[in-house]
Structure formats: structure tokens, C-alpha cells
Structure 1
Amino acid sequence: MGYHPLYLEQFLKTQDYILRGDGPLPFVYRHFIAIIAAGRHQCSYLIALQKQEFLLQGGEQNWLRGLEHVPEKLRKLYDINKILAHRPWLLNVSHIEKLTKCGKDSWSLAEVVHAIVILAHFHSLCSFVFSCGVNQELDQAGGYEYPCNNSQEAADNKQHESPRRTPALVHQAQNRYEVVGACPPSPTEPEVAISTLMQRMKTLSEQTEECTPVELAKRFENIEAQSAELVVVGLEPAETPADISYFIEDLSFQYQDFAKRVENNIRTFRVQDYSWNDHGYSTVNRLYNDVGTLLDSKFQTAYNLTYYTMGGSTDVDTSRFRRAIWNYIQALLGIRHDDYDYGEINALVEKSLKTFIKSACCYPERVTKKEYDKVMREFQHSEKVHVNLMVLESRMQAELLYALRTVSSYMTNF
């Protein structure tokens, strides 16, 4: 994130506020909620950091032995954690009611909103961590492995291997993650050149013909159907490490393509009916003071961030490219912007980048640095990081839109 200091400042300010600032939840609850959020995507990196913070805040070591050892009040949050992480469109008023009307373990609505913000923040941060290739440190299971130069070095390493780092875990790590410095990325299909992309953006900006609402709806449905056919990168982890499985229930509950949902009563989320600017911002600020302002600044910074470059080209208006990526991410989660022509996505976001974005957003635990290296090969590293920031922020906003709309419905009904 240091490539984008303006964004980094907003990110750190927001994260510091939700974890250490004023708010209804106790500090140990905040860090434990962060742990179970990262657990949904098996993000050892974030789990390890939040375990340290949890213990520094005086959290009970026993809680880290698994969900069965935590207070019932925290356990009741898990369904919302699971749904928001993978299929946020399934969240409904009954989930909020279950938390707020459960006797001595009940949550206040302010506590629920604080927890939702933390969950969405860390779910989305998992997407950023994996999509940038930020994994475990060298001495941790699941971490990077430096290649040995010769058999003697390999033997020396094995002799001094940490006892807790079993051969099985080393084998798993080597298969799951990119080996640092091992080899250049494998050959991939040709990408659309940046010059071609710039020409397409110019052509789109010069078009004056407007689509009918019916045509716009069809183009959105087309993007949904196409995304459902994309095969995500990587493989599902064969085995969940024990220290992560402590914080996961129902591991089989994963992302499902919105276009293939089996729930007939779930309709596309239309931003014209419930938007961040007109609804979500005020709802979250009402129940959790000041956080809406921080979140809004962070969203706007990620969305509007530009240095007017694209690869080696300068003075480039990248707004159409940025909007296409942002709206594609939210389309994966069933959210439609009625005023947007989704046909622009096919013109500006090629298949390999769509696949990477879908993987980073919906299956981040399967993404490795190797996949990051394969896409957007003409772009600068900082520009690729910016795309990953948009995955983080667009996904987080989508989760919050579903959650805050549900909270608003709960407040209206009860």
C-alpha cells in the first residue's frame, strides 16, 4: 500500500479507528472478530497478526483454542461472518434479530454494526493480502520457501528444520505458494496491449448513443452469465492447517456465482434503490459514530486515485477503466449500477484480468503471487496494486451495502 501514500493514510486511519478507537465493542472482541473474519479465507498472515493484538489487549488464551471456547455472544456472530464472506445476498433480517433478541447474550444494534464493519474490513483485506502475494513469513507453515541451490544445502536445511514445521506442511506450502525466485511466470495467452486499451477508452468516451434501460439490464445479465463461466485460478487447499481450522465452521460454505443462485426470491441488488451515498453512509454513521466518514473517504480515495498513467503512457484518463473494474467486482456479488453500461467491461477488462479479479474477490485463498505476475504484464507494479486496492474497497462496500440494507430493514420492522 506504500505505493499509494494517500490511500495508505486513509486505510490506516480507518483500521485504527475500528480496532482501537471509540466504539461499542470491547477491544478483545474486535480482534477476535478480525480473527474469525480472516479465518473464512484461511489467511494465516492476518490471523497471526490479530492473535498477537488479541493477547496484547488481555484476551484469554483459551479463546484461541477454538470457537467452542469463546463466549456464546461471540459464537452467535458466526453465521453473519460466514454469509458476508461468501454470499452476502443471503443476509436477512432474521440474522440481525437472532443477535439482538437472545436474552443475556444479546447484542445492541450498535455492536452489530461495529462487528459488521470489522468483518467486512478483514474479509476484503484477505483479498488484498493474497492477490498481492503477501503470505506467511519464511519460518511459518504455509509460507514462502526459498529454493535450495544444491542437495547439501537442502540436507542442511532439513537438519535444522523447526520441529513444528513437519515435512507434510512443507510439502503443502511448496505446492500451494509461489517459490520465491524459483522461475519466471509461465507463458500465458497474449494480453490486450495498453495502446489498444487506451484507444478503446477513447472510442467509448466519444460515443453519444444511449442505451435503453432494457438493453442496459441485458448487458448486466450478460456480464453475470459470463463471470459464472470463468474458472478461477489455483486449487482449493487440500487441508486446512489446525491453527486455522480452530476458527472455522462449515468450511464447505463457499462463494456461489450469483447468476447460479438457487434462491429464486433473491433479486439483483440495485444501487438506485439502496446506495452507499444516499443510504449506507447515513445508516452506519447513525449507529457507529464517525466510521461512515472514514469509510467514505477510503472508498473515494481508492476509486478516484489516479496518476494519469497506464504502463509507460502518461496523461491518460483512466476513469473508465477504474469504473469498469469497480463495477465488475460488485457485479460478481449481485450488485447492479443502473446507470452504467456493462458492455464497457467486456471492452476494457479482458478475460485473464476478469479471472484474476473474480479469484481475488471470491476465492482469495487460491491466489498466489504467480497469478499476480501473470496479469496486466504491461502495467507498473504500483498500478497492479491499485487494482487490488479496488478489489478490496469495492468488495468491502458491497458487503456493507447488503449488511446495512438489512439493518435498515430491521430498524423499520422492529
Structure 2
Amino acid sequence: MFASLATFQTSKDRRGFFVSRSGLDKSRSQTFLPPEKKMLISQPSRGPSAFIPEKEFGQVNDADKFITRLVEEYSTTGRLDNITQVMRLHPQYLESFLRTQFYMLRVDGPLPYHYRHYIAIMAAARHQCGYLINMHVDEFLNNGGSSEWLNGLEYVPQRLKNLNEINKILAHRPWLITKEHIQKLVKTGENNWSLAELVHAVVLLAHYHALASFVFGSGINPESDPDASNGFHPEVVKNKFCVCDLANDNNIENTSLTSNNVETTDSESELEALMERMKRLQEEKEEEEASQEEMATRFEKEKKESLLVIPGAFDTDVVPMSNVTRYIEDPGFGYKDFARRGEEHLPTFRAQDYSWEDHGFSLVNRLYSDIGHLLDDKFRMVYNLTYNTMAMHEDVDTTMLRRALFNYVHCMFGIRYDDYDYGEVNQLLERSLKVYIKTVTCYPERATKRMYDGYWRQFKHSEKVHVNLLLMEARMQAELLYALRAITRHLT
């Protein structure tokens, strides 16, 4: 699927940089970084990830010079943080990610800047993601936010509090969002949201819910910068934590699950079997396509089978900390399987009735100028990203595998594509990988290194990072589809 950084060649975005409705272009991006926030290349002793050996991130080369330029132009913190260091294994995607995030947080838009960072905090708190909370506590204060708001939701304006319900539902059960939720937020009154403001908020919420999945799924370590708190030390800043670290039962220096000859042989045979299944599925598809009825049946079967995929680490409950729960309401509300018994009345979200390409993109772009183009680029980038390799094999078409990963996430959220044969999911995604996907997507705070190590044992770390990028973007798109469909129904 992937290649090393050394093979990457810098290329310009095919459309060039966008111009916002305020006329901002990339030449002005530096004005958002205060002088004291010059780029700092942090080198934490443990490396950026608790799951990936530090040596995987390599030496400085031409690609890293490209990353340095990206951070200088688009970083919201002024430093090469640990998320960026892990994502730099895929520089083309990283450019799209940083540009989109920069636009959400730093470019003129419907929401005040300090609101944007507080919304990021609220979103990250749904998954107890201390890494992101710490980052945006700092950014919130840097953008003029009141330190009193960091004491909890009872100290924030009512209109921000009103986002709690949609934050909770989007994070865990987005299929429950209705036009009534939208109407309640935009109804006339002193605490109402305009549709443009609400779309900006929804994009931020979905982005940070999904980014929490990437943080935990990639074992992102806390930042080592002792000055990151800007002189403000609420409990959440002092207690920098990474639940993936706390729940990790394997030291980063330990050898992987492929450390002995027997396990290596097993993992090699698993890889060969996967490639053989891909080849067979492709041949069967070329010979005869399944009927629409059969594909619908296979989707229902896969949806129900996902109930049997039990996420890991439930024996080590992650107890919400007070410095996290202060930013949310109803902390016990979490993901419940879309297809669980007793909720058969929930209709499947049929992608041909409301898709990102035909419906979501145009609505979000109309209400929040330019964000649709940026999100679309990011979705397409991660979905189409390939280096035509799988582990040690080259010249491999991995389209089928990438599509299975993306569509399995949407399947867990009740979204079905009529033109996709869900029988491929069972053929291509082994059980340990399904457990990892469900945990990272739906219960990311429960991800552990053992789970990360336990699937695709012959694959490179960069390939597993690509898996996490696919899961993150599939999750974000699923949340957006449900929210934007509810907004569309409100408007019609």
C-alpha cells in the first residue's frame, strides 16, 4: 500500500491554494502565528508514538524539508507536534489535513476563534482525549478565551452549552440526529445559532471526534514541551495523559508479535492468504457481479455480524477524569451498535439517497464557504492514496482493501452503498482487524498497543498509519452525512 518518505516528490495542489470569501491566501497565513510561536521541532525522548518505534520516522531528508514548510504555513500551534510527526509518513495526505485544519481554526469564518477551540475541547472530551484537550486549552487561551470557561460548561455562554446534545449524538450515535435537533439550535432567540455558525461547529465536532480516533489508534504520546501551558495550569494541563499509554500492556521497546520464527511464518502465510483472497475476489467480480438483492442481503449480514465484534480492553475500564467530564454532559452516553436488537426500526442510510458527492459537499460549501473543497480533497486523498505495495510485495492494486476498510466503518454507522458487495469485507478483514477498527472508530480510548500489533503483522507501520487515516476520514464523513442530511431536512 505504501512507500517510504524518500519516494515522495513534492507537488502542487491541482487547483492551487483557495481564496476565502475574505480574500485570504496563503501569503497571509503567517500572520496568525505570534512571534514567540516560531516553529519548534520537538524531539520527545519516547518518540511521537507509543506504538511505533522512533526509528520508523527516519532521518531528515528532502521530504522533511517539505514538511517543515507545511508546518510553517499551516500549523495552528507553530510546532511540529506528535500528530504531524506520525502523519508525515504520508506527506501528500498531511498537506491536505493541515490545510483543512488551518482553515477551520485560523481563517475568517462564521465562528469566533476562541469558540472554535472550545468546541474542539468539547469534542475531544467525548472520548477523554487529553492530548487534544491540552492542545486546545492552550490555543483557546492564546485566542483570548476566558480562563473561567476552563472550569467547566457551567461557566460558558448558554449557546455553547446548547451544543452538548449534538456533540454527544454525533460522537457516538450520529444516526439519531434529526431535523428537530437542528431546529432547536437555530430557532429564534438570543442563544440561537445561524446555519453558517452551526455548520462550522458541526465540521469542528466531527473533525475532532475523528481525530481522537487517530490519536488513540496511533498511540500518540503527550507532547514533551514543558512550556505548552502558557502559564495556565488547570488540572487538565497538569495531568497530561494518553489513555493508549495507560492501557498499553506492551513496552514500546518490546519486540512485536512477529518476533519469533513461528509467528513470522504464521504472519507471512496470513499475508499470502490475504493477497490470494484479493485476487480471487477480483476474478469473481470480473466474471459475474452479484445481484442488487444479494448485495443488500450481504450488507444486512455484515451489519448484524458487526454486533459480534467486541471491542478490546473492556477488562480495563477507562474511568472518565473530572478534568475531562467538566466539558461534557452525560459522560455515560456512548456508542451502541446500529443494528442491535430492538432498534430494527432504524432505517439504513442509503448512500444513493444522500451522498457526500451529490448532496453533502454542495450544502456544506454553500453554508461555510470553501470548506467543502478542502474536505473533499482530504477524503479523496486518503481514499485514493496508494504506493501499490503490501508489506514486502510491490505492484499490488490495493483499491479493494482500502474500500473495504472505508465501507466497513460506514457499515457500523448504518450507511450502505448499493454498488458495493459487503461480502468482500468478511473476505478481506480478519477478525483481529475488525476488533481494532471497531475499537478505534467507536471506543478509541480503549485502543492498546497489543491490538495495534495484533493485526497485519507483516505490514509496515506506515501502512497501519494509513489504516488509521482511512478510519478517521470514514468516521468524519459518516458524522457529516448524518448531520448535513438533518440540516437539509430542516431546510426543506
Structure 1-normalised TM-score? 0.88
Q: Residue 143 of structure 1 corresponds to which residue in structure 2?
A: none
**Counterpart AA for 1:218:** T
Q: Residue 332 of structure 2 corresponds to which residue in structure 1?
A: 252
Of 421, 434, 437 in structure 2, the residue corresponding to residue 357 of structure 1 is 437
**Counterpart AA for 1:382:** S
Alpha carbons 2:130, 2:240 under 8 Å: kept? no
- The answer to whether 1:382 aligns with 2:462 is yes
Alpha carbons 1:44, 1:135 under 8 Å: kept? no
Alpha-carbon deviations, 1:314-333, whole Å to 9, x = none? Answer: 00000001001110011011
Q: Using the alignment, how far apart are the partners of 2:182 and 2:477 within structure 1?
A: 19
- The answer to whether 1:177 aligns with 2:248 is yes
Alpha carbons 1:176, 1:237 under 8 Å: kept? no
Q: Using the alignment, how far apart are the partners of 1:244 and 1:269 within structure 2?
A: 32
Q: Using the alignment, how far apart are the partners of 2:341 and 2:481 within structure 1?
A: 19
- The answer to whether 1:197 aligns with 2:274 is yes
Of 410, 413, 420 in structure 2, the residue corresponding to residue 330 of structure 1 is 410
Alpha-carbon deviations, 1:281-334, whole Å to 9, x = none? Answer: 001001000000000000000000000000000000000010011100110110
Q: Using the alignment, how far apart are the partners of 1:113 and 1:391 within structure 2?
A: 22
Cα shift at 1:225: 1.1
Deviates more, 1:41-50 or 1:183-192: 183-192
Q: Residue 33 of structure 1 corresponds to which residue in structure 2?
A: 119
Mapping of residues 233-252 of structure 1, within 5 Å: 233-235=312-314, 237-252=317-332
Structure 2-normalised TM-score? 0.75
Q: Using the alignment, how far apart are the partners of 1:277 and 1:139 within structure 2?
A: 41
Of 125, 129, 153 in structure 1, the residue corresponding to residue 211 of structure 2 is 125
Q: 1:310 to 1:186 in 2, by over 3 A?
A: closer
Q: Secondary structure at the match of 1:231?
A: coil
- The answer to whether 1:309 aligns with 2:386 is no
- The answer to whether 1:213 aligns with 2:292 is yes
**What residue ranges of structure 2 are gaps of 5+ in the alignment?**
1-86, 227-234
Q: Using the alignment, how far apart are the partners of 1:301 and 1:252 within structure 2?
A: 35
Q: Using the alignment, how far apart are the partners of 1:265 and 1:223 within structure 2?
A: 18
Q: Residue 391 of structure 1 corresponds to which residue in structure 2?
A: 471
Deviates more, 1:180-189 or 1:374-383: 180-189
Query: Post-superposition, which runs of at least 4 consecutive aligned residues in structure 1 deviate over 6 A?
Result: 186-189
Cα shift at 1:102: 4.8
Q: Secondary structure at the match of 2:475?
A: helix
Deviates more, 1:24-33 or 1:361-370: 361-370
Cα shift at 1:94: 0.8
Q: Using the alignment, how far apart are the partners of 1:314 and 1:169 within structure 2?
A: 41
Of 78, 81, 86 in structure 1, the residue corresponding to residue 164 of structure 2 is 78
- Percent identity among equivalent residues? 52
Alpha carbons 2:170, 2:177 under 8 Å: kept? yes
Q: Using the alignment, how far apart are the partners of 1:277 and 1:316 within structure 2?
A: 28
Q: Using the alignment, how far apart are the partners of 1:139 and 1:16 within structure 2?
A: 21
Deviates more, 1:64-73 or 1:260-269: 260-269
- The answer to whether 1:13 aligns with 2:61 is no
Deviates more, 1:95-104 or 1:258-267: 258-267
Alpha-carbon deviations, 1:95-124, whole Å to 9, x = none? Answer: 101111151010000111000000000000
- The answer to whether 1:268 aligns with 2:354 is no
**What residue ranges of structure 1 are gaps of 5+ in the alignment?**
141-163
Cα shift at 1:264: 4.6
Q: 1:173 to 1:370 in 2, by over 3 A?
A: closer
Aligned residues between the structures: 386
Deviates more, 1:294-303 or 1:263-272: 263-272
Deviates more, 1:362-371 or 1:254-263: 254-263
Cα shift at 1:205: 1.3
